[in-house]
Amino acid sequence: MMPGSAPAASDAGMFVPAATVGTVLCCMCGVAMQPNPANMCTRCLRARVDITEGVPRHAAVIYCPDCSCYLQPPRSWLRAGPESPELMQILLRRINRPLARLRVSLSGAEFVFSEPHSKRLRLKLRLRREVLHGVVLEQTHPVEFVVHDRLCDSCSRAQANPDQWVAVVQLRQHVPHRRTFLYLEQLLIKHGQASLAIRVAAAPGGLDFFFGSRSHAARLVDFLNTVAPISTQTAKQLVSHDTKSSVYNYKYTFSVEICPICREDLIALSPQASRDLGGLGPLVLCVKVTNSIALLDPLTLRVHHLEEKKYRVYNFKAALTSKQLVEYIVLDIEQESPEISIDGSRYQLAFAQVARVSDFGKNDTIFTVRTHLGHLLNPGDHALGYDLYGANLNDDDMDTAMTRHNLPEVILVKKSYEKKPRTRRWKLKRLPLEEDAGNKAKGEEERRLDEYEAFLKDLEQDAGMRFNINLYKNEDYRSEMASTIGDDVPTVPLEELIEDLTLGDDEEEDEEEAGNTQAGMVE
């Protein structure tokens, strides 16, 4: 008992009568009932008030029989299975506006069986509405949707003649891998730039985007110009013309070439380029590629952003690419300077003693190098780098740099983690590409899978790359799989993942409305 409170009557031995709920007579039919603000029983209320008045009982929905998609006005097409939550969401959106206008809330909905060939979809709704001084009525309401078949835009274009395209964007990059296209693919999906393409075809060295309008192709080229260093050439071919009306039909071609410099490439600058860039280099690493190229001097931590037009002046190539990275083990490391941040990336100069993993048990060759990865590496770690000591180089600028400068024997690029395959709790969406299986070389599929796995590892290690794309939750992932992953292996935080389709917000709002009006409800 709290201090200062009176003792309960039952504790004092007093008789306490049981509390009973009073009843009143209905003002219409005289039936005894529990009191409510309207003083009418449930049967009389429902006989005099129809909360479903004005709510549509019939509606229409458009369905594409080829791809099993439903039209979400004005132009979106969503794939949904029979009696699925996605289909329920599409149908409820068709009647959401009349319900809001009538101030009727939806407390529940379920499918009613209908024959698959009847072209009918039936729902049973539970509607709730406030009537007569705060009394809330709940009533079921059937709605029938008539399914109209109509091909969506992509299916109608697919059934038409594939030669009816008007413009094509030929995207190319002359490098021995497809890492750049994997990243551009995610950017195109996030921003919806390839949604208007009639089809997307894989081609040697790149991709081809076919459009039904020249403006759509020009918009894709403008987008690529903002995310990658590109050079563009245009051409057109006369297809037909009408001399009487002066109407000409052309086919347009946009040839887009991406700069052949990629992330983690090692570049040897010519003496002229090094002087123009303020004494940068001569050996630099490409650390970021957007509409400009970010070049890092790993020995001085100087960074220079080179635009595409400026790059075409020097037109240098990569001396060594990521395909030629060699794995090293760190024997010892000593920090030289404090950690700094440049363009959102962290660097720290340090001296490291490294040895090639392939040399273990064969020789005692040890290299002492200067690296920009002092904040990441510890003794015993593995790192990937370029072996200038044993590399066979065929680059004039590299030969010039070796004769004029004392170059390091190893350039470390990034820290290496375990190579054991694992199931990730996130996934990526892919573009529907058309590929010619007959022109695939032997081992091409395995090579592409390895490149895709390397791209996924780059996303895990680089938060800047993940910031520009969408990562989705993998429904097949189980938490028990996390125990097989090492503690130092980078992973994607759960808060960066998004859902493909979210229905929880609408359900939570309905539950809150049900809780707020439960006190005055008449069953």
pLDDT in tens, 478-491: 665 554 555 567 77
Share of the chain above pLDDT 90, in %: 32
3-state secondary structure of 437: helix
Predicted TM-score (pTM) above 0.85: no
* Whether residue 274 has pLDDT greater than 80: yes
Strands 135-149 and 167-172: unpaired
For residues 67 and 221, the model is more confident at 221
Cβ-Cβ contacts under 8 Å for 485 (sequence gap 6 or more)? 422, 491
pLDDT tier, 438 (very low <50, low <70, confident <90, very high otherwise): low
The whole-number pLDDT of residue 359 equals 85
pLDDT at residue 468 greater than cutoff 80 = yes
Which amino acid makes up residue 384?
A: L
Mean pLDDT (whole number) for 484-510: 61
Question: Is 510 exposed, middle or buried (CB count within 10 Å of its CB: 0-12, 13-18, 19+)?
Answer: middle
- Can you say how many angstroms the Cα of residue 289 is from the centroid of all Cα atoms in its chain? 19
Contacts of 480 (CB under 8 A, 6+ apart): none
Per-residue model confidence as pLDDT tens digits over 80-137: 888 898 999 999 988 888 888 888 888 889 999 988 889 999 999 998 887 766 677 7
Q: What was the pLDDT predicted at 510?
A: 46
Q: What is the pLDDT of residue 519?
A: 33
Question: Would you say residue 193 has pLDDT above 80?
Answer: yes
Which pLDDT value is given to residue 70? 93
pLDDT at 266: 92
Q: Tokens representing 239?
A: 């297809």
Contact predicate 94/147, CB 8 Å: no
Tell me what pLDDT residue 8 has.
54
Residue 5's pLDDT band, with cuts at 50, 70 and 90, is low
Lowest mean pLDDT among 97-106, 166-175, 274-283, 488-497: 488-497
The closest alpha carbon to 82, from 118, 125, 127, belongs to 118
Average pLDDT for the chain: 83
Alpha helices in 72-163 (DSSP H): 85-94, 96-101, 153-159
Question: In Å, what is the CA distance from 186 to each residue of 194, 343, 427?
Answer: 11, 22, 11
The C-alpha atoms of residue 107 and residue 125 are separated, in whole angstroms, by 8
Residue 342 has pLDDT above 90, yes or no: no
513 pLDDT band, cuts 50/70/90, is very low
- Mean pLDDT check: name the lowest of 78-92, 147-161, 167-181, 247-261: 147-161
Mean pLDDT of 43-50: 75
Taking residues 135-163, what's their average pLDDT? 81
Using a 10 angstrom Cβ sphere, with 0-12 exposed, 13-18 middle and 19 or more buried, the burial of residue 459 is buried
Q: Are residues 1 and 11 in contact, defined by beta-carbon separation less than 8 angstroms?
A: no
- The tally of CA atoms less than 13 A away on the side-chain side of residue 368 is 2
Q: What's the confidence (pLDDT) of residue 3? A: 53
Residue-wise pLDDT tens digits, 374-432 = 998 999 999 999 998 887 777 788 888 887 888 888 999 999 887 766 678 888 888 88
**Whether pLDDT at 62 is above 50:** yes
Instruction: Please tell me the predicted confidence (pLDDT) of residue 518.
Output: 35
The Cα angle at residue 286 between residues 285 and 287, in degrees rounded to 5: 105
61 vs 72: CA distance, rounded Å: 9
Provide CB contacts within 8 A for 228, sequence distance 6+. Answer: 180, 184, 258, 259, 289, 290, 291
**Given a cut of 60, is residue 2 above it in pLDDT?**
no
* Residue 368: per-residue pLDDT: 92
Query: Band of the pLDDT at 500, cuts 50, 70, 90?
Result: low
Closest Cα to residue 64, out of 154, 140, 194? 154
Using an 8 Å Cβ cutoff, are 287 and 263 in contact? Answer: yes
Q: Is the pLDDT of residue 165 over 90?
A: no
**Could you identify the residue written with the tokens 């892919």?**
430
What DSSP designation does 51 have?
Answer: T
